[in-house]
């Protein structure tokens, strides 16, 4: 039995992508998930599962979410230990930065070339720092005016979903190993 923390991308945005917490829990249970819990209604879910391969768990969840909702819900799973690493990286990477700190959790491990392409977008008060399973986006106070966004991460590194620093550190404390 493995414990997973799944981060669902792009749900509860607008009228067409609704996925309430109770429906997420029910969908995860239908895939065999046990001891399912959610944190705020932005697609953060912790569960135990007999499947131990990340890609298989993600594919199973995505298939069920599509069946349940009628739209694709890209899903990124981390182990509790991996989530703690991301939260620890955030402390180091964000040290001395006074702006906003967002964390794009990556579905796949990026190549060096892709990392370099994203790094080329870094400048001024916007900095991207790559961790083991995440890109830490350190931006100024204006999130909506930032060039470094989850969309930029996805253009260069593939499927990702973003959470703010507070959500990641809260979940690491709540659900970490």
Q: What is the 3-state secondary structure (H, E, C) of the chain?
A: CEEEEEEECCCCCCCCCCCCHHHHHHHHHHCCCEEEEECCCCCEEEEEECCCCHHHHHHHHHHHHHHHHCCCCCEEEECHHHHHHHHHHHHHHCCCCCCEEEEEEECCCCCHHHHHHHHCCCECCEEEEECCCEEEEEECCCHHHCCCCHHHHHHHHCCEEEEEHHHHHHHHHHHCC
**Residue 34 pLDDT > 90:** yes
pLDDT of residue 94: 86
Cβ atoms 140, 126 nearer than 8 A: yes
CATH number of 80-175: 3.30.70
80-175 and 2-78 share a CATH fold: yes
Whether the model clears a pTM of 0.85, i.e. scores above it, the answer is yes
Question: pLDDT digits over 120-170, tens only?
Answer: 767 777 888 888 889 999 998 888 888 888 998 898 888 999 999 999 999
Question: pLDDT digits over 37-67, tens only?
Answer: 999 888 999 999 999 999 999 999 999 999 9
CATH number of 2-78: 3.30.70.1280
R_g over Cα of the chain: 16
Distances (CA, A) of 47 to 84, 97, 157, 159: 16, 33, 27, 22
Domain boundaries, the chain: 2-78, 80-175
């Amino acid at each position: 039995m493995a414990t997973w923390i799944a981060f669902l991308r792009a749900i509860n945005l607008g009228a067409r992508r609704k996925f309430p917490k109770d429906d997420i829990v029910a969908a995860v249970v239908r895939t065999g998930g046990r001891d399912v819990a959610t944190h705020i209604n932005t697609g953060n879910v912790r569960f135990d599962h007999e499947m131990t391969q990340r890609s298989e768990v993600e594919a199973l969840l995505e298939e069920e979410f599509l069946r349940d909702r009628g739209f694709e819900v890209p899903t990124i799973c981390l182990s509790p230990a991996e989530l703690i690493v991301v939260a620890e990286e955030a402390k180091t990477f964000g040290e001395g930065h006074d702006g906003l700190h967002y964390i794009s959790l990556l579905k796949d491990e990026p190549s060096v070339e892709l990392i370099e392409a994203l790094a080329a977008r870094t400048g001024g008060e916007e900095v991207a720092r790559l961790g083991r399973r995440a890109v830490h986006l350190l931006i100024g106070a204006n999130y909506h005016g930032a060039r470094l966004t989850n969309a930029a991460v996805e253009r260069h590194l593939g499927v990702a979903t973003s959470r703010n620093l507070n959500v990641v550190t809260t979940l690491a404390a709540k659900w970490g190993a």
